[in-house]
A and B are shown apart, each in its own frame.
Chain A
Amino acid sequence: MTWWNRLWHRGQVEEQLEKELAFHLERHAADLIARGVPAGEARRQARIALGGPEQVKEHCRDERGTRWLEDLWKDLRYALRMFAKNPGATAVAVLSLALAIGPNAALFTVVDRMFLRPVTVQGSSEIFFLYPKDDSAARSESPSYPDFLDYQARGRGVADFIASSGRGVTVNVNGANQLVFVELVSDNYFRVLGVPAALGRMLVESDAHFEGSPPLVLTYSLWQRKFGGASDIVGKTIMLQFQPFHVVGVAPRDFLPPSQHLVGSDAWTPMNAATLLGGREAMTQRGKGIVDITLRLRSGVSRQQAQTTLSAIAAQLHREYPSTNRAKAVSLSPAADKGKAVAGAIILSLVSLVLLIACANVAGIRLAQGEARRREFAMRRALGAGRGRMLRQLLAESLLLALAAAGLGLLLARVMIQAIPAALPSLPATLDLGLRVDARMLGYLLALAMVTTLATGLFPALRVSRPDLTAVLKCEAPSARSRSWFRGGLIVAQIACAQFLLVLTGLLVGSYLQVQHIRPGFDTRRHLLFATVMPATEHPEANFYEDMLVRLRALPGVRRVTSVGDPPLSGSGGGPQQVSIPGVTEEPVNVGAYWVGPEYFTAMGTAILRGREFTPLDSTAVVIVNDQMAHGFWGDAGRAIGQFIRVDGRDRQVVGVVETGKYHTLLEQPTPIFFLPTHGGGTVLIETAGDPAAMVGSVRKAFRDSVAGVTLNSLVTMRQQMGVAFFLWRAAAALLGIFATLGIFLAGVGLYGVVSHGVTCRSHEIGVRMAMGARPADVLRVVLRQGLSMVLIGAAVGTAVAVAVARVVSVLLYRLSPADPLALTESALAVAVVTFIAIQVPARRAIRTDPMTVLRSE
């Protein structure tokens, strides 16, 4: 019989045991009777020989090996009955824990996706990104495709190299065009990463030589989002950029390729498909940095060895192609970044403080319940129950509490996970993080439940299971000192944790407010709409773009319409271009560039320091530089006007100098940037007379009805656009804010519980004092002294720790010292309010104590 059967058919097993022992007794008695012993005496002797039947049975049960499970089952049922007796306290405990566990589990899915599990390919520790390192410029250009081929050919001994090059293209689904990101990948891409397909197959080496329509592999997310997860997708032809592509497979759901970009790709196709998607010429030019190079080290090759070999190759390329390959070194950065994992762990441990606060509440409740059950446990002890057995039963109760809370927390986490996408800033393309309840999240949830069980159960269980037998059975009151010391300590710890989170939140909120005051080189209050558009047909009419601008300008309420390739601080655009400046530097240097339309600077509210901005008449012969670039190359904004810079082999005259702004991040150092004129860019800027948000509907309608040949991809206001730049601060502040609020709320509940319990216990003392003439103020002082001292110690400890570890979030602190007075005041205020609410209810009860009632109850 397997142990499972023994457990499952417990009734039958018991019955057989009974029968076996009865048979034994009967046979023994029969033998004795045969030897002449009287029947009654024979049965007596047989029973004596066997021993107490219940004891024998108990020993047999011990031998079954399923004893602990049976006991656990009994314990859990008993625990359930205990909880049913105390529904109020149980509900408070479960809700406290669920409120902490749910958000923790929800956040885990995000942290897991962003930090802990960045790459889901086999052997991700051997995978590195390769950046050519230019020793002059801070931002180095991406490698070119010819560079990739050279690294691949010359570095074959140390690693396998793969290249990818992403671009946004239109996909036509059910007649509507939408923007997706396709990654052109080298022939060996999926072989090196080693990923099996979820459906169909991944790309293989022979796919590079496709005939007709190129093969395409979809991400699981795109397959679900755009094609409804149709199982017959493999073999279908879909239109990308108005060209047919042949779907050969779908990648697994959790496949996350090593990527240096936040927005992952939606599909993969061979590099040669560039002939259809555009950019074929760029693939042959050494000066065009368009690919990301990723490599997998061969077994036995160390990172250092690879670094040396690759630097040697970079130096060779520099000698062979001095005009384009200035990179003399390369840097390797691991795809599975340990720093990221540490960051993730720090975030998770910060927010798990809330769980500790909740655990402290529940431990307090359990301790109080345990005191009430001292007699029960003393009695069981006296009847021979082992201490281990009682410990197990108390821990089973804690386990049940934790599991109930984890279940409730899971529901909460699911709701929160579904709400996360709405909180993300609006981007032109869907940012699908693929957040969901998966096995890793459930594992984390269970781990939290186990920690909770021990944290809430162990100490109270140890205390309660070791009662002083005689004292309890003689109905003596337990000594309250050590218990109140323990609960006081819990409150101090709770307040400290909550205060810690509050101070960090205050710092982040303060930084967020400060960051909003940074001038990014334009006026963030301008009434602007940013529309990203793409041609709706393969061969748009020649003047479709002008036509669009004219129609938009004709809309009532529209002041100005211009365009920009990618707006600054949008996460893309401003990529480096090689320029040389006759008379200043003949050797090319990398400077970031933007394509902007006529009146762009006026529309954005950017100050024009010298010269003029672009007009509709400007051709490719002119350029505008920012102040930083003018100072860097010519020493002065005024002297820059009329100078020439050479871009793409063509000399362009500087016609204007504008203020230096922020282009990639708000906290960047002043960066040289130049602007090239365009008459049609990826993003259309629409300046409105009134509130731009009110114009969204009419602009959308205009695009739909009267602007032919263009698909509107996204339409956001300046405010929303800036949301991308502020997102990190907002998300961090909101996140910590949620957890800090939860934390101080739970700590307040704990404080209330302790003070209220204290008032109840001391009602007799208070009554006597009042009978002796104590005034309400005296009573109040007694109650407050107990509660406030705990709060003050806790707040002081929490503040000190927060100030000490604020370095953790220092990347997000802007112009704030860790001991920012405003942040400290805010958090102290929050603690004070919660303390007041938590203490005033029991304090009032204490004042209203009627001395007569108390004394009569003696």
Chain B
Amino acid sequence: MPAKSDLPQGTLDLLILKIVALGPVHGYAIAQRLQQVSRDVVQVPQGSLYPALHRLENRGLMAADWKETETGREAKFYRLTRKGWARLESESASWQRLTEAVGLILRLSEEGAE
């Protein structure tokens, strides 16, 4: 089992936006999916998931509706707003740039070490 790593600052919001972008989803499912998709590498403390969801909702990046689940229970389903889509796009782009840059630097130092 690979070591679990902490999330870098600010990335939780991006990950949540990405998962919610796949379609309306409730909080528990978001937690599940984060874990599954990252193959348990990313361990989201569930206690900080809900404050993050509420933060994104209050900032107008996500909206929420109460809907029935397949088991007939009412749950709060989150979906992206137009502002949320825009944010997701810009955040992912800057994340890509950052990781590429970090990768370049790492390779550079490896080459230097050789």
Q: Mark A145-181, 1 if CB is under 8 A from B, else 0.
A: 0000000000000000000000000000000000000
| Partner of A59 from B27, B51, B75 at Cβ < 8 Å | B51
Does A432 touch B at the CB level, under 8 Å? no
Q: Kindly state the separation between the CA atoms of A65 and B57 in the bound complex, as whole angstroms.
A: 11
Q: Kindly state the separation between the CA atoms of A50 and B28 in the bound complex, as whole angstroms.
A: 10
Say whether B73 contacts A63, CB under 8 Å. no
B residues less than 8 Å from A612 (CB atoms): none
- Interface hit among B40-48, B81-89, B93-101: B40-48
Q: Kindly state the separation between the CA atoms of A64 and B76 in the bound complex, as whole angstroms.
A: 17
Does A384 touch B at the CB level, under 8 Å? no
Q: Kindly state the separation between the CA atoms of A3 and B58 in the bound complex, as whole angstroms.
A: 8
Say whether B28 contacts A27, CB under 8 Å. yes
Does B54 touch A at the CB level, under 8 Å? yes
| Partner of A56 from B28, B51, B55 at Cβ < 8 Å | B51
Say whether A51 contacts B46, CB under 8 Å. yes
Which residue of chain B has its CB nearest to the CB of A13? B54
Say whether A59 contacts B58, CB under 8 Å. no
Q: Kindly state the separation between the CA atoms of A161 and B100 in the bound complex, as whole angstroms.
A: 71
Say whether A24 contacts B28, CB under 8 Å. yes
Supposing A23-B28, A60-B51, A65-B58 touch, asked if A51 and B45 sit within 8 A by C-beta, the answer is yes
Which of B52, B54, B57, B75 has its CB near the most chain A CB atoms (within 10 A)?
B54
Say whether A28 contacts B28, CB under 8 Å. yes
Q: Kindly state the separation between the CA atoms of A399 and B13 in the bound complex, as whole angstroms.
A: 38
A residues less than 8 Å from B31 (CB atoms): 24
Which residue of chain A has its CB nearest to the CB of B29? A27
Number of interface residues of B (CB under 8 A): 20
Say whether B27 contacts A24, CB under 8 Å. yes
Q: Mark A38-54, 1 if CB is under 8 A from B, else 0.
A: 00000000000111100
Nearest CB of B to A373, in Å: 33
Q: Kindly state the separation between the CA atoms of A62 and B74 in the bound complex, as whole angstroms.
A: 25
Does A21 touch B at the CB level, under 8 Å? yes
Nearest CB of B to A60, in Å: 5
Does A19 touch B at the CB level, under 8 Å? yes
Which residue of chain B has its CB nearest to the CB of A6? B58
B residues less than 8 Å from A16 (CB atoms): 66, 76
A window 25-41: CB within 8 A of B: 26-28
Nearest CB of B to A843, in Å: 61
A residues less than 8 Å from B26 (CB atoms): 23
A residues less than 8 Å from B46 (CB atoms): 24, 49-51
Say whether A20 contacts B76, CB under 8 Å. yes
Which residue of chain B has its CB nearest to the CB of A31? B32
Which residue of chain B has its CB nearest to the CB of A66? B58
Q: Mark B47-91, 1 if CB is under 8 A from A, else 0.
A: 110111011011000000010000001111000000000000000
Q: Kindly state the separation between the CA atoms of A6 and B28 in the bound complex, as whole angstroms.
A: 23
Say whether A50 contacts B51, CB under 8 Å. no
Say whether B50 contacts A59, CB under 8 Å. yes
Say whether B28 contacts A59, CB under 8 Å. no
Which of B45, B58, B75 has its CB near the most chain A CB atoms (within 10 A)?
B58
Say whether B47 contacts A50, CB under 8 Å. yes
Q: Kindly state the separation between the CA atoms of A307 and B41 in the bound complex, as whole angstroms.
A: 81
Q: Kindly state the separation between the CA atoms of A64 and B55 in the bound complex, as whole angstroms.
A: 7
Nearest CB of A to B17, in Å: 16
For chain A, the bracket of interface size reads 20 to 34
Does A55 touch B at the CB level, under 8 Å? yes
Say whether B48 contacts A59, CB under 8 Å. yes
Say whether A56 contacts B76, CB under 8 Å. no
Q: Kindly state the separation between the CA atoms of A65 and B60 in the bound complex, as whole angstroms.
A: 12
Supposing A16-B76, A19-B74 touch, asked if A62 and B51 sit within 8 A by C-beta, the answer is yes
Say whether B51 contacts A23, CB under 8 Å. no
Q: Kindly state the separation between the CA atoms of A24 and B52 in the bound complex, as whole angstroms.
A: 15
| Partner of B50 from A3, A21, A26, A52 at Cβ < 8 Å | A21
Say whether A63 contacts B76, CB under 8 Å. no
Say whether A63 contacts B55, CB under 8 Å. yes
B residues less than 8 Å from A65 (CB atoms): 58
B residues less than 8 Å from A56 (CB atoms): 47, 50-51
Which residue of chain A has its CB nearest to the CB of B56? A63
Which of A24, A26, A62 has its CB near the most chain B CB atoms (within 10 A)?
A24
Q: Kindly state the separation between the CA atoms of A160 and B57 in the bound complex, as whole angstroms.
A: 58
Which residue of chain B has its CB nearest to the CB of A21? B50
Which residue of chain A has its CB nearest to the CB of B32? A31
Q: Kindly state the separation between the CA atoms of A49 and B58 in the bound complex, as whole angstroms.
A: 25
Say whether A55 contacts B27, CB under 8 Å. no
| Partner of B51 from A26, A52, A63 at Cβ < 8 Å | A63
Nearest CB of A to B100, in Å: 32
Supposing A16-B76, A23-B28, A65-B58 touch, asked if A60 and B50 sit within 8 A by C-beta, the answer is yes
A window 618-634: CB within 8 A of B: none
Say whether B54 contacts A64, CB under 8 Å. yes
Q: Kindly state the separation between the CA atoms of A60 and B56 in the bound complex, as whole angstroms.
A: 11
Nearest CB of B to A35, in Å: 13
Q: Kindly state the separation between the CA atoms of A595 and B84 in the bound complex, as whole angstroms.
A: 86
A residues less than 8 Å from B52 (CB atoms): 63
Say whether A59 contacts B47, CB under 8 Å. yes
Nearest CB of B to A508, in Å: 60
Which residue of chain B has its CB nearest to the CB of A50? B46
A residues less than 8 Å from B45 (CB atoms): 51
Which residue of chain A has its CB nearest to the CB of B30? A24
Say whether A64 contacts B28, CB under 8 Å. no
| Partner of B73 from A23, A51, A62 at Cβ < 8 Å | A23
A residues less than 8 Å from B27 (CB atoms): 20, 23-24
Q: Kindly state the separation between the CA atoms of A441 and B42 in the bound complex, as whole angstroms.
A: 60
Nearest CB of B to A316, in Å: 69
Q: Kindly state the separation between the CA atoms of A80 and B75 in the bound complex, as whole angstroms.
A: 40
Nearest CB of A to B93, in Å: 26
Q: Kindly state the separation between the CA atoms of A65 and B51 in the bound complex, as whole angstroms.
A: 12
Q: Mark B11-49, 1 if CB is under 8 A from A, else 0.
A: 000000000000000111001000000000000011110
A residues less than 8 Å from B73 (CB atoms): 23, 26
A window 481-514: CB within 8 A of B: none
Which residue of chain B has its CB nearest to the CB of A53? B47
Say whether B58 contacts A63, CB under 8 Å. yes
B residues less than 8 Å from A21 (CB atoms): 50
Q: Kindly state the separation between the CA atoms of A547 and B66 in the bound complex, as whole angstroms.
A: 95
Nearest CB of B to A55, in Å: 7
Which residue of chain A has its CB nearest to the CB of B55? A63
Q: Kindly state the separation between the CA atoms of A28 and B31 in the bound complex, as whole angstroms.
A: 10
Say whether B28 contacts A63, CB under 8 Å. no
Q: Kindly state the separation between the CA atoms of A59 and B45 in the bound complex, as whole angstroms.
A: 13
Nearest CB of B to A10, in Å: 14
Supposing A23-B73, A23-B75 touch, asked if A64 and B58 sit within 8 A by C-beta, the answer is yes
Which residue of chain B has its CB nearest to the CB of A26? B73
Nearest CB of B to A58, in Å: 9
Q: Kindly state the separation between the CA atoms of A247 and B55 in the bound complex, as whole angstroms.
A: 62
| Partner of B47 from A1, A27, A51 at Cβ < 8 Å | A51
Which residue of chain B has its CB nearest to the CB of A48? B46
Nearest CB of B to A596, in Å: 81
Nearest CB of A to B71, in Å: 8
B residues less than 8 Å from A49 (CB atoms): 46
Q: Kindly state the separation between the CA atoms of A62 and B51 in the bound complex, as whole angstroms.
A: 8
Q: Kindly state the separation between the CA atoms of A62 and B47 in the bound complex, as whole angstroms.
A: 14
Nearest CB of B to A292, in Å: 59
Q: Kindly state the separation between the CA atoms of A27 and B76 in the bound complex, as whole angstroms.
A: 13
Q: Kindly state the separation between the CA atoms of A6 and B74 in the bound complex, as whole angstroms.
A: 21
Nearest CB of A to B106, in Å: 34
Known contacts A3-B58, A19-B76, then 6 further A-B pairs from the complex at CB < 8 Å, ordered by chain A residue? A20-B76, A50-B46, A59-B48, A60-B50, A63-B55, A64-B58
Q: Give me the interface of B with A, judged by CB distance under 8 Å.
A: 26-28, 31, 45-48, 50-52, 54-55, 57-58, 66, 73-76
12 contacts between A and B (CB under 8 A): A3-B58, A16-B76, A23-B26, A23-B27, A23-B28, A23-B74, A24-B27, A24-B46, A26-B73, A59-B47, A63-B54, A64-B54
The 10 closest A-B pairs by CB, nearest first: A51-B47, A59-B51, A63-B55, A63-B54, A27-B28, A24-B28, A60-B54, A50-B46, A20-B76, A63-B51
Q: Give me the interface of A with B, judged by CB distance under 8 Å.
A: 1, 3, 6, 16, 19-21, 23-24, 26-28, 49-52, 55-56, 59-60, 62-65
